[in-house]
Amino acid sequence: MRILVTGGAGFIGSAVIRELLTQTSCVVANVDKLTYAGNLESLASVSDSPCYHFYQVDICDATALDTVFAEFNPTAVMHLAAESHVDRSIDGPADFIQTNIVGTYTLLEAARGYWSALDESAQAAFRFHHISTDEVYGDLEGADALFNETTSYSPSSPYSASKASADHLARAWHRTYGLPILVTNCSNNYGPYHFPEKLIPHVILNALSGKPLPVYGDGSQVRDWLYVEDHARALIEVLNRGVVGETYNIGGHNEQQNIEVVKTICELLEELTPGKPEGVDAYGDLITFVADRPGHDRRYAIDASKIQRELGWVPAETFESGLRKTVQWYLDHPGWWQRILSGAYRLDRVGRAKLQ
């Protein structure tokens, strides 16, 4: 297979590319604009592979996308490029509308034009996998309810509304034009190479620096946590074996309150790095409750029984094992995150296609 991955320099996209290049014989094209969250250093372990190609392209640029499709000749698209930080979407929603909605439309049209020109057998084999989020479903009522593939959409933030729009576009291109679409909606991802603005890496790095660990509201918001490498394996399984036109929810079966996530990180740091910053007696003392953000959903939880039943996928990591691996990874790779915090990763990266 020749797989075009959009957003491949991002957190989940880079995990997918590392998995594809180390565990399969696929050829991969990474299409990424390299916004602030795109980091080619997350792909350092595989970037020298002859099966890896990089195109610095904005998915809103139709002409550039047509060129990529014509040069690379993909047999599948895995669409992960997106603006994804809820707080940023509240402060400035325009980028989310442009990338997540207009960009998805532009990519769908480029894929449709390319797919329409293929011969019959190549058309039948082609797949467009649209990767989305459980946040499109909104807030869950009660302690036992779960999101499933038929849950009605009720997005709460500009981010989730833009992703919901993208989901609807993908499904419409399948029904109207016959483009072979697969859709997945995942729960909160965590793991190595996670950009430091997100909750888990933000808490780890603030704690190591002796800075406050901000927790929204009372910290009782519940999320279902999914280790990113488990997610990458699930996405590849859906691409290979999923039924065209179907949606698959991917979750980690790991519901945790935000405050418990932060406390668990503090406990792991006490164990793994007892030498604390000056003036810090216990990492837990750094926890600071701050005003809740607007429209903050209280609980997300995924029913992942469909992907388990139909494709046999289950997560390999528990929250405990995955979080321990994550904390240890950040302790072992200070060079990676220090270059992000300093901005050096943006100054040094090379923005040109790697064609081999």
Q: Kindly list the catalytic residues.
A: 134-135, 159
Rounded-to-integer distance, Cα 82 and Cα 170, Å:
14
Rounded-to-integer distance, Cα 134 and Cα 218, Å:
22
56 CB contacts (<8 Å, ≥6 apart)?
32, 33, 34, 351, 352, 353
- Residue found by looking up tokens 């020298």 in the block: 48
- Distance between first and last Cα of the chain: 17
Phi/psi at 283 (nearest 5 deg)? Answer: -60, -35
CA 42 vs CA 12, 13, 151: distances in Å: 10, 10, 34
Tokens of 74: 């993909």
Rounded-to-integer distance, Cα 169 and Cα 200, Å:
31
CB 107 within 8 A of CB 79: yes
Rounded-to-integer distance, Cα 59 and Cα 40, Å:
17
H/E element holding 123?
helix 120-125
Tokens of 166: 């993208």
Beta strand pairing status for 181-186 and 247-250?
parallel
Tokens of 293: 């953000």
Beta strand pairing status for 255-257 and 181-186?
unpaired
229 CB contacts (<8 Å, ≥6 apart)?
15, 19, 191, 316, 317
Tokens of 356: 């081999």
Sign of the CA dihedral with 134 first, then 254, 199, and 205 last: negative
